[in-house]
Amino acid sequence: MTSLASKASQNQYQTLGLLRLSLNFLKSFSTTTSASPSTPNPAPASSSAKPKRRKKKNLFEVAQFLPNWGVGYHMAKTHWANVSYEITKINLYKNGKHGKAWGIVHKDGLPATDAPRKISGVHKRCWRYIPSLSKSVESTPKVTAPKEIAPTAEVQAA
């Protein structure tokens, strides 16, 4: 019985030894390919790393922070010059980052068309909000106080 136990323990040590050798062998391959032999300790990545580029936003990601999902506000693609859309209608899908949008084209700050049209390229990541043209005067309803009619007609009749 003791000889069987000693043989079993001896087999375990041999198995662990082979496992260690194979792991060390694999480890040697992975370290030699990542680091060059002339520089054993590469410089830390944080000191030479470039700052992360911000991911540009699609139209819906820009509009989500504006009141009423940007309806009535001006948006344009970053590469457009003097052209923007005044958003008139947005149809969002469930996740809020996709959908359809309609708007009125503005060139040099003035409306180029009267009727809204479907905006193409709303999912491309190049949209920006134009604060200088924010809500246009025509799109906000004007509230006027009713004028009181003077009782002169009643006075003249009496």
Q: DSSP per residue over 118-137, as a string?
A: EPS-TTSS-EEE-GGG-S-T
Percent of the chain with pLDDT strictly greater than 70: 56
Instruction: Give ∠ CA 117-120-123 in degrees, rounded to 5.
Output: 135
Report the residue count for the chain. 158
**What is the pLDDT, as a whole number, of residue 140?**
46
Contact status, residue 119 vs residue 136, Cβ threshold 8 Å? no
Domain spans, the chain: 1-32, 59-133
Q: What value does the mean pLDDT take over residues 26-41?
A: 58
Q: DSSP per residue over 87-106, as a string?
A: EEEEEE-TTSS-EEEEEEEE
Per residue in 109-155, pLDDT (tens digit) is: 899 999 999 999 999 999 999 998 766 544 444 434 445 555 555 55
Contact status, residue 87 vs residue 70, Cβ threshold 8 Å? yes
Say if residue 44's pLDDT is above 80: no
Say if residue 23's pLDDT is above 80: no
Whole-number Å distance between alpha carbons of 155 and 143: 31
**pLDDT grade for 99, boundaries at 50, 70 and 90:** very high
Topology of domain 59-133, CATH: SH3 type barrels. (2.30.30)
Give pTM, 2 decimals: 0.52
